[in-house]
Amino acid sequence: MSELKPLIVVAGVGNGSGTGGSTARLFAKNGYSVALIARGADSLKKITDEINSSEGDAAPFAIEAYNAANVSAVFVKIFEKFPAQTHTLRIALWNVAEGVFKNFLSITPEEVSTTFSSSVAPAFAFSREVILKFKENDIVDGTRGTLLFTGATASVRGNVLTSLFSAGKHAERALSQSLAKEFGRQNIHVVHAIIDGPILTDNQRNRNTKEWEKNEDIRLDPDAIALAYQYVVGQHRSAWTWELDLRPAHEKW
């Protein structure tokens, strides 16, 4: 077994109050160094300091925008900070959700192209960097690494305001499935998670009532989603999950 410290890269951390933040905190506790990607340095400061001050090791990697060029470029910085001499990338989470929610006829051609260049294209760029790195890894406990995608209800179902958002999410799901098939045979585990319901993030807290916040039957706790991610990461290679779906107990679906 190597002396190298395991590294997790999380893209789509936002301000740290959702799934990306919870996953980063959980794996930091499990002994992983954490590379945090979000738009804007300010949003990353709080969660980086929080992880560092609770004996974890996190570093912020702010990007200007989610696009293929920014996402590819940020990996150069990540591997400067966490070089192969000290760290080995073991987990990567694509947790980015860019959304245009509009009636079909209100959607402009620019929005169509921006949505794809800010969601699908950077998901391809992220996967490329991660898979290239994973291919250098030794197989440990059956795997070279785990690439996780956070999906949504829209990954499998369109709806009246989601023709564009859902098309992007379907594309990311298709990418993850294709990668799972192509790279599973190289012991790279690719997982797609359909998150079916509202997540208790700070944004949702601000939009909803205190009763909503307290009722664990109707919203997903991001810490609980992180535990599900920890579970799939630990799966034995003879029984790997590609797709997981998670929803609160009382969700109508």
Site for ligand NAG in 47-76 (CB under 6 A): 48, 52, 57-60, 64-65, 67, 69-70, 73
Nearer CB in complex with ligand NAG: 57/221 = 57
Nearer to ligand NAG, 155 or 201 (CB): 201
For ligand NAG, which residue has the nearest CB? 69
102 forms part of the interface with ligand NAG (CB under 6 A): no
Nearer residue to ligand NAG within complex by CB, 9 or 179? 9
Nearest-approach distance from CB 70 to ligand NAG, in angstroms: 4
What single letter denotes the amino acid at residue 206?
Answer: N
| 220 in Cβ contact with 200 (< 8 Å) | yes
Nearer to ligand NAG, 95 or 176 (CB): 95
Min dist. Cβ of residue 205 to ligand NAG (A): 7
* Contact letters for ligand NAG, residues 135-154 (x by CB under 6 A): --------------------
**Toward ligand NAG, which CB reaches closer, 17 or 137?**
17
Give the x/- contact pattern for ligand NAG in 6-35, rule: CB under 6 A.
---------xxx------------------
Nearer to ligand NAG, 68 or 112 (CB): 68
**Spatial contact of 126 and 92, defined as CB atoms under 8 Å apart:** yes
Site string for ligand NAG, 188-207 (x = CB under 6 A): --------------xx--x-
Among 46, 102, 128, 170, binds ligand NAG (CB under 6 A): 46
d(CA 29, CA 23): 10
DSSP string, the chain: ---PEEEEEEE--TTSSSHHHHHHHHHHHTT-EEEEEEESHHHHHHHHHHHHHTT-EEEEEEESSSSHHHHHHHHHHHHHHS-TTTEEEEEEEE---------GGG--HHHHHHHIIIIIHHHHHHHHHHHHHHTTSPPBTTBSEEEEEEEEGGGT---TT-HHHHHHHHHHHHHHHHHHHHHHTTTEEEEEEEE-S-B--HHHHHHS-HHHHH-TTTSB-HHHHHHHHHHHHT--TTS--SEEEE--TT---
Site residues for ligand NAG per CB under 6 A: 15-17, 46, 48, 52, 57-60, 64-65, 67, 69-70, 73, 202-203, 206
